[in-house]
Amino acid sequence: MIGIICAVIASLLWSLNPAIIQRYRYVVRPTLFTGLRGLFAFLGLLPIVLIFSHNMFSSVSIKAILFIIASAVLGPGVGDTAYAISIKLVGGSLAVVISYTYIFVAQFLAVVFLGERFTWLVAVGTALAFIGIVIALYRNTDSSTSKSSMAIGILYAAISSITWGIASFMIKPIYSEIPDPLTISLTRIGIVTILFISIGLREIGSFSEVRGQIAPAAITGILGWSLGMSLYVYAIGVAGVTITVTATALTPIASQITIALINKTKISWRYIAGSTLVATGIILLAINT
């Protein structure tokens, strides 16, 4: 149960990101912004890890180290970038629905390679959660979108789904060797920070472009990555991949509700219906544990 609770809290923290990023959308440069988020998240986690985590890498296998690197590059790196590109090309509704099939990718890998149980309650709960996403967020795509843009956007969403799924699956074997979500998160964040800042700095023209991204990067980095990623890693470690990834179905719907509340617009019945289905799915997962 504690694992599901942590996954839900992580989902709610992640749901705040779109509203914050939307407010600063005119100054955000995706690549550098990802690196800056990582930097603030890293600085926020580092003191905690130094105090509470002691020599966690003393007996770690090469396989675990490679998994940490791969999960960092594939998840927050390639996956998030592909997701953003897909949204730009085909719109948020279709991009979210396709990208969140990562739930099935992660579950398949966890069942086949980790031997996680896939009961009928998990199957029904997962189905309800995904249907909830479709009902809440799917809309007909803009008719002005060209066929080539549509195809490329769908491809990027599929890439996001696959890379998120693989990255989530990798966390469980990492956790079995390093049972410390803070250390795992700090390491993954550090890798993403180095990679994306080094690339992102080449894309800017002046320091003013960096300064404008500091506030949203700090907020989303600390909330979404320092706290959210650590909770997500812990949830996978104690509850498993299959259950945890399904609980994250709450994120895209909660983010739209958050944006509606901030903009003081009417909350669509679709969001309410979708949230209800996702919540029902999560309850079934809790019963299964």
Does this model's pTM top 0.85? My answer is yes
The whole-chain average pLDDT of the chain stands at 88
Give me the pLDDT at residue 160, please: 94
Beta-carbon contacts of residue 93 (< 8 Å; ≥ 6 apart): 137, 138, 139, 141
Residue type present at position 19: A
Mean local confidence (pLDDT), 36-42: 94
For the chain, the structural domain boundaries read: 2-288
Beta-carbon contacts of residue 159 (< 8 Å; ≥ 6 apart): 78, 79, 82
Taking only the tens place, the pLDDT of each residue in 132-183 is 999 988 776 556 667 888 899 899 999 999 999 999 999 999 999 998 999 9
Q: Are 143 and 267 in contact (CB under 8 A)?
A: no
Q: Are 82 and 160 in contact (CB under 8 A)?
A: yes
Taking only the tens place, the pLDDT of each residue in 108-120 is 999 999 999 989 9
Most confident of 22-26, 58-62, 117-121: 117-121
Range with the poorest average pLDDT among 95-99, 144-148, 199-203: 144-148
Q: Are 110 and 242 in contact (CB under 8 A)?
A: yes
Taking only the tens place, the pLDDT of each residue in 242-263 is 999 999 999 989 888 887 887 7
